[in-house]
Amino acid sequence: MKKMERLTRIEHAGVVAVVREDSQKRAIEAARAVIKGGIKGIEVTFSVPQADQVIAQLKEEYQNDSSVVIGAGTVLDAVTARLAILAGAEFIVSPCFDQATAEMCNFYQVPYMPGCMTITEMQQAMKSGADIVKLFPANNFTPQMIKAAKAPLPHVNIMPTGGVNLENIAAWKQAGAIVVGVGGNLFKGVKDENYELVSQTAKQYIEVWREN
């Protein structure tokens, strides 16, 4: 039940902000800014220094807001997945599929979203309990890839990540994306500590997602 509840919240969020900053402080401020702008899905990547501490702090800050869902990204192995889960991560995202990580997430009833590029990879991930697969890097494909994947795998839920922007997010949703991962220009204000710009950009993304 816990896993299904988390999946529902991820789907309801629609847009997951991929936080890749070079310090704990910037990562936390960036996450706060996108949440303020209306994006309630947060993926803290393990390229962020002490990412587990960032996850723990954000979980504590937003513990009373059930619409906010905090997860971990760039999780390459089961050890990192467990570290993230114990810190409070409510979903785990990987750039590639890893069987041991899938089993760890299933054990803790935490959704696992591995990066896949082929039908074979998607099938393997689904057989191992992945409820959502990350089409990554999505900029290698067009939104029609979702339709193509759903022909042989009609039950696959796809989250395109990498290259998703304000110009193509509507096309990805219309093609059948259950959720999208967004980084890059969403955080263009962070370098200058212009977090209001981050919030405004987040608002644009969520508005486009909800309108389509």
Convert the pLDDT of each residue in 165-179 to its tens digit.
999 999 999 999 999
Q: Which residues of the chain have pLDDT under 50?
A: none
Q: Are 68 and 31 in contact (CB under 8 A)?
A: no
pLDDT reported for residue 15: 98
Burial (0-12, 13-18, 19+ Cβ within 10 Å), 152:
exposed
Active site residues: 43, 134
pLDDT reported for residue 1: 75
What is the pairing mode between strands 92-94 and 112-116?
Answer: parallel
pLDDT reported for residue 46: 98
pLDDT reported for residue 115: 98
pLDDT reported for residue 67: 96
Which amino acid does the sequence have at 70? I
Q: Is the dihedral of CA 49, 189, 68, 177 positive or negative?
A: negative
Q: Are 180 and 169 in contact (CB under 8 A)?
A: yes
Report CA dihedral (183, 205, 195, 163) to the nearest 10 degrees. Answer: 20
* Partners of residue 73 on adjacent β-strands: 45
> Model-level pTM?
0.97
Q: Give CA–CA dist 105/92, Å, rounded.
A: 8
